[in-house]
Amino acid sequence: MFIAVFVGMVCNNNNKAYLVLSTGEVFEGKSFGAAGCVSGEAVFTTGMTGYLETLTDPSYYGQIVMQTFPLIGNYGVIPSDFESTRPSLSGYIVRQWCTDPSNFRMAGDLDAYLKKNGIIGISGIDTRRLTKIIREHGVMNVRIISVPENNEIDQSTDEKLLLNNPVEKEKLLKSIKAFEVKNAVVSVSPKRENRKENGKEDRRSGRTIVLWDFGAKKNIERELLKRGFDVVSVCAQTSAAQIIALNPAGIMLSNGPGDPAENTEIINELKILCSKKIPIFGICLGHQLLALSQGAATEKLKYGHRGANQPVKELKTGRIYISSQNHGYTVVPESLTGGAEVSFINLNDQTCEGIRYKEFPAFSVQFHPEASAGPLDTAFLFDSFMKLIDTKEF
């Protein structure tokens, strides 16, 4: 009975689509979401649930995301679960998508949502095999070519050229390899200046947190508001002087996409803020930028950490937590100065997952304490931020 129900739920779209890897391999699948062609950096995420949070996480800007879990979309589209107003990823890869989702909160299905937002997808490919390729080769560029039934897409994307014309295929591979994720933070950070997140002036608590938004997930704001803070979000181009003028009790450095070292202006402004000894908490990209501002280095991981099941160890206590992660870069521990120490490590590969600073009130983590992994294993870090603000001790 279960098998019959399962088969009835999966995609039956017969429109062809292709996934072309920069190595030359071609996967044939079915069109899903919007039609067209798109290049991006292929990454995989291992979460069994949370596909809506994945789709709306700005940290995926410029990337084509593959879900390793085989059935995606079974609880539909639920706007209250979004981490941002719209998707920032370039494309989407799934094994199967659910055509008949069921959830009392849903407001539509996944295929319609992707079409509405112009996200090109492909389904029906061997995602297990593709995951193994990325794990062995490392993150690579790919292109999705989604061919509609009437085949109105440019002739260069035709199946025969892809599979049987070596000259045209070589041109295509050259184009795919040339793709780069650039200006990622500027592309996803809000284009507006300061905005209050908790509304009316008469509700102000007197403790303002400036959320420096590099592509922030909504749940970071929610966790701060839950603890009684007034949250003012500022865009990535905001200067240190403008942040200081807001008289913040603390500064939250958000997650975001791209190569952290690319953000030289933000790093320079962050140096100024650190010298003012305002309490700072950094998450993901914010963690990397804070380290870079103090002279540390970052490096790109082979295939990154993406999923809701990453084990991390707190060195101070020896306790192990399950964390949610989404990053392709890491801070190099050996590059830290004497004023900083590693506070968390990843138990899978021993990479840096957290840093505590000794010369000014700040700490940061590479994982996402707001993302309900475990499900609440590391949410206490927001309480640690409150303590840091109240006592200047951590």
pLDDT tens-digit series, residues 184-214:
999 999 876 555 554 444 445 679 999 999 9
Which architecture characterizes domain 184-391 according to CATH?
A: 3-Layer(aba) Sandwich (3.40)
Of 83, 221, 353, 370, catalytic: 370
Provide the residue ranges of all domains of the chain, joining segments of one domain with +: 2-177, 184-391
Residue 149 is predicted with a pLDDT of 59
Residue 107 is predicted with a pLDDT of 95
Of 41, 284, 327, 353, catalytic: 284
CA distance between the termini of the chain: 55
Of 287, 305, 327, 368, catalytic: 368
Handedness of CA 358, 373, 297, 315 (dihedral sign): positive
- Partners of 29 in the β-ladder: 17
* pLDDT tens digit sequence for 118-175: 999 999 999 999 999 999 999 999 999 987 655 555 544 555 556 678 888 888 999 9
CA dihedral (235, 182, 298, 176) in degrees, to 10, reads 150
d(CA 328, CA 325): 10
Residue 11 is predicted with a pLDDT of 44
* pLDDT tens digit sequence for 43-76: 999 999 999 999 999 999 999 999 999 999 999 9
* pLDDT tens digit sequence for 227-277: 999 999 999 999 999 999 999 999 999 999 999 999 999 999 999 999 999
d(CA 242, CA 261): 22
368 has catalytic annotation: yes
Residue 393 is predicted with a pLDDT of 73
341 has catalytic annotation: no
* Structure confidence at residue 391 as a pLDDT band (50, 70, 90): confident
Which of 3.50.30.20, 1.20.1530.20, 2.40.50.140, 3.40.630.10 would CATH assign to domain 2-177?
Answer: 3.50.30.20
Closest CA to 310 of 346, 344, 282, 343: 346
Residue 41 in 3-state DSSP? strand
Q: How many CB atoms lie within 10 A of CB 334?
A: 8
Residue 7 is predicted with a pLDDT of 30
Q: Which residues contact 336 (CB under 8 A, 6 or more apart)?
A: 291, 294, 296, 342, 355
Residue 10 is predicted with a pLDDT of 41
CA distances from residue 120 to 17, 37, 149 in whole angstroms, order as listed: 10, 7, 15
Task: Please determine, for residue 95, whether its predicted confidence score (pLDDT) is greater than 80.
Answer: yes
